[in-house]
Structure 1
Amino acid sequence: MRTIYIALISLPLIFLASCGQSSKAETEKEKQEEAHGESVEVELTEAQMKAVDIQLGKIEQRALNSIIRVNGEMALDPQKKAEVTSLLGGSIKQILVIEGRYVSAGQAVAYLENTEIVELQKNYLTTKREALIAEQEYRRQKELSRQGAGVEKTLQQATANYEITKAQLAGLEKQLKQISISEEQVSAGNMVTQIPIKAPIAGTISKINISTGSYVDMQTPLMSITDNASIHCDVNVFEKDINRINIGQEVDITLTNQPGVNLKGEIYEINKSFEGDTRAIIAHAKIKGRADVKFIPGMYVTGLINVGKQKADAVPNDAIISNEGKKYIFVLEKEAEREGVKTYHFERVEVITGISELGYTQTTPVTELKKDATIVKSNAFYLGSMSTDHGEHGD
């Protein structure tokens, strides 16, 4: 502040009062600048405005596609992942696959040996013979009864015995089929000592938990299979946005650790309960196309859900500049004329940007603007370069 010394003795009180008011005004200005951040101002003449074609206008209300920012991970439906187990306990005699190999549904992935396998086949042969004898006796007693020579009680016993042995035989045939043993082969006397363990679904072997010679029981997961071809994306939608999402909405997806991979998805299912202790639900999105990208369950993703058009304050893209990671627009503060030269005084105002569409970007000023404020709508980069080159402009 400049101080002017005046010789008149009668003016000291006025001078002190004036200084007090000026100091108070400067203090208020400093407080305001601290609250709103650094104030950057630029002044242009009318000739400069025309030379670089700077156009003025208002912040507009535009119907823009609104988005919700989400994060999540790649996941599989329960039916697209499986644990391989055995229906019998026993020793692993051979492993036919390695991790990372693709297998078809029903393909043998290992062989298991157990003495129960031979015992089961023996029981089948014995029961089959008993069933044949029981059937012959039943038919004989039935024929005698038809001729009036049989005893009713004997027929009833023969019938019951036949039905029991027939049921036992059917049960053993089912057991043989479940462990991939052919009853025709057993009936021909070709008994086996090993059985194949088969893949329940098609997919990739993701983990093997066994080794040759190890003993396994029916509760032991031998290996895991995942069908990554049917992978989808699970994204977390927080409580404030739940009512804005619907099945069928599009999702732009980016793999967090592979920024160059951009995917398109579509929401096909929405959970109806919160996940654990979070205030978020999971929305499931199927991936469209991109067969060239290799997905793995658990990959982290970020996404933008398009929830439809909404009215928002927006400015032309050309009205926004970037500086040190922040976004700004220029607001007309005043017009003046000095010595026949018309000048325009602009202030740089920080804004938070949203979605961009058809040449316009959603903007929210960090500090409240005057109603019907006039802004620079085009070539704002010119003012941006001036503010960067010349720094803060003051009186």
Structure 2
Amino acid sequence: MTDATSAARWRAAILAAVLIAGGGGYWLGQRGDSHAPGGTPADSRKILYYYDPMFPNQKFDKPGKSPFMDMQLEPKYADEAGGSGTGPGITVDPAARQSLGIRVVAAEMGSLAATFDVNGSVDFNQRDVAIVQARSGGFVERVYRLAPGDVIGAGTPIADLQLPEWGGAQTEYLSVKKLGRPDLTSAARQRLRLMGMPEGVIAEVDRTGRTGGRLTVRAPIGGVVQTLNARAGVTLATGQTLAEISGLGTVWLNAALPEAQAGLVNIGQRATATLTAFPGESFAGRVVAILPTTTADSRTLTVRIELANRGGRLRPGMFAAVALGGDAKPALLVPSEAVIRTGTRSIVMLEKGDGRYHPAEVVAGREGGGKTEILRGLAPGEKVVASGQFLLDSEASLTGLTVRPLEPAQ
């Protein structure tokens, strides 16, 4: 190999090295412009965080591959969070607001009556019960034409009884009376009373001077015959029950109250019942008891309401709708449809102005008349979305918008 050939090869090698070095420097320079550590990105927009579009609520500080999906994380820019850099929220232009049917209502102070409707059924008043018993041993002579379920009035005859013990005691009384000893006569008369003899029977013995152990047993109250154990010819023991009568002057209305509303009902509170049997009429009553146990299947408490039963029109077993109510109380109100209940919390969509909307957590209270009471999370005058709020809430969830938290309770 000649010296000329060697020199030509050296010149070619040096030229190739220079070209490679120049190309590598150019590539490094281009990479440093856009991704060099500590350099400024080509896009001057401020990045708040990185996220996976399929899991927008999960945020990352650095770019890279999503741990959930086989895709790169997307940047979230500051001007995207609020729509054209106007602040946090979802932005909707006026044309879209009209097409989406978004309706905004201001939260305002109002009066919300503590009334709510429950269902119940009519039952006998278990405090208005009469037990008819035999006051002395004997037997039944006659039973009047009655049967369980019959409605009878006070004083209706039930059975004629023959009580031999009463006849003997009356004979002794008349004998003592003939002695002319007021003290002995008074003692003998008291003995007749202790045997259960009515004053009318004793007065008749005094007037006629004749004894008789026969007694007609009558109903002490009007109502429904529940049981009738008197049968003609049956021998009676002292204290044996002949009949049981439930009064109909008042009835109980047992209403099923959801346990979530148990704190809204108190004993003595007024109630109004309506029945399909009497359209257009209402029956006023009051709460006389709240039973201490909860039904496990329906998670309801039994509220006992006492109703006047004029004319016996309310019959046990009838179904009724009950409105339990209290005095109206001032409250911060919003339309009930504006409250989004997620199961763990309640949310409303606030209008922030300039077409921006932002979710806020609230604590909802009572409901009535299409209004819901807001206990915490809103101030009077703040505007909430009453129609189209579910679309805005979905968009806020997809973009990972933070819900305004509740202020600490005072």
> Residue in 1 aligned with 2:325?
306
Structure 1 residues 330, 23: CA separation in 2 closer, same or farther (over 3 Å shift)? closer
For structure 1, the residue ranges without an aligned partner over 5 or more in a row are 1-5, 32-40, 136-161, 337-342
- For 1:180 and 1:219, how far apart are their aligned partners in 2? 20
Map residues 53-72 of structure 1 onto 2, 5 A cutoff.
55-67=103-115
* Structure 2 counterpart of 1:100, from 149, 152, 155: 149
* Structure 2 counterpart of 1:222, from 227, 234, 242: 242
- What letter is aligned with 2:148? E
Map residues 281-292 of structure 1 onto 2, 5 A cutoff.
285-287=305-307
- Which structure shows the bigger proportion of residues in helix conformation? 1
Partner of 2:50, secondary structure, is helix
1:360-382 CA-to-partner distances (Å, cap 9, x unmatched) read 443569xx6799753235xx2xx
> Residue in 1 aligned with 2:366?
354
- Residues 366 and 373 of structure 2 are in contact (CA less than 8 Å); yes or no, is this contact kept in structure 1? yes
For structure 2, the residue ranges without an aligned partner over 5 or more in a row are 1-26, 38-45, 60-88, 295-300, 400-410
Structure 1 residues 12, 254: CA separation in 2 closer, same or farther (over 3 Å shift)? farther
1:113-171 CA-to-partner distances (Å, cap 9, x unmatched) read 3432443444345x1xx533x34xxxxxxxxxxxxxxxxxxxxxxxxxx2345335534
1:12-50 CA-to-partner distances (Å, cap 9, x unmatched) read 887xxx99x52479757159xxxxxxxxx9986524655
* Structure 1 counterpart of 2:177, from 115, 125, 131: 131
- What letter is aligned with 1:198? R
Partner of 1:131, secondary structure, is helix
- For 1:54 and 1:353, how far apart are their aligned partners in 2? 24
Structure 1 residues 116, 94: CA separation in 2 closer, same or farther (over 3 Å shift)? same
Identity %: 15
Q: Is 2:385 the counterpart of 1:376?
A: yes
Q: Is 2:94 the counterpart of 1:46?
A: yes
* Structure 1 counterpart of 2:221, from 195, 201, 212: 201
- For 1:221 and 1:315, how far apart are their aligned partners in 2? 61
- Residues 42 and 347 of structure 1 are in contact (CA less than 8 Å); yes or no, is this contact kept in structure 2? no
> Residue in 1 aligned with 2:50?
22
- Residues 201 and 225 of structure 1 are in contact (CA less than 8 Å); yes or no, is this contact kept in structure 2? yes
Partner of 1:167, secondary structure, is helix
1:44-90 CA-to-partner distances (Å, cap 9, x unmatched) read 65246558985423322323223588999856373x21111121122
- Residues 288 and 304 of structure 2 are in contact (CA less than 8 Å); yes or no, is this contact kept in structure 1? yes
Q: Is 2:186 the counterpart of 1:167?
A: yes
Structure 1 residues 57, 275: CA separation in 2 closer, same or farther (over 3 Å shift)? closer
Partner of 1:231, secondary structure, is strand
- What letter is aligned with 1:109? I
- Residues 68 and 241 of structure 1 are in contact (CA less than 8 Å); yes or no, is this contact kept in structure 2? no
> Residue in 2 aligned with 1:151?
none
Structure 1 residues 352, 371: CA separation in 2 closer, same or farther (over 3 Å shift)? closer
Q: Is 2:271 the counterpart of 1:251?
A: yes
- For 1:351 and 1:293, how far apart are their aligned partners in 2? 44
- What letter is aligned with 1:331? M
> Residue in 2 aligned with 1:87?
135
- For 2:231 and 2:395, how far apart are their aligned partners in 1? 71
- Residues 173 and 183 of structure 1 are in contact (CA less than 8 Å); yes or no, is this contact kept in structure 2? no
TM-score by length of 1: 0.55
Q: Is 2:158 the counterpart of 1:109?
A: yes
- For 1:24 and 1:307, how far apart are their aligned partners in 2? 52
Structure 1 residues 29, 285: CA separation in 2 closer, same or farther (over 3 Å shift)? same
- For 2:343 and 2:31, how far apart are their aligned partners in 1? 56
Partner of 2:114, secondary structure, is strand
Q: How many residues align?
A: 322
Q: CA RMSD in A?
A: 6.0
- Residues 350 and 359 of structure 2 are in contact (CA less than 8 Å); yes or no, is this contact kept in structure 1? yes
| Relative contact order, higher structure (CA 8 A, sep 6+) | 1
> Residue in 1 aligned with 2:73?
none
TM-score by length of 2: 0.53
> Residue in 2 aligned with 1:3?
none
Structure 1 residues 13, 84: CA separation in 2 closer, same or farther (over 3 Å shift)? farther
Deviates more, 1:226-235 or 1:343-352: 343-352
State which structure, 1 or 2, has the greater radius of gyration over its C-alpha atoms: 2
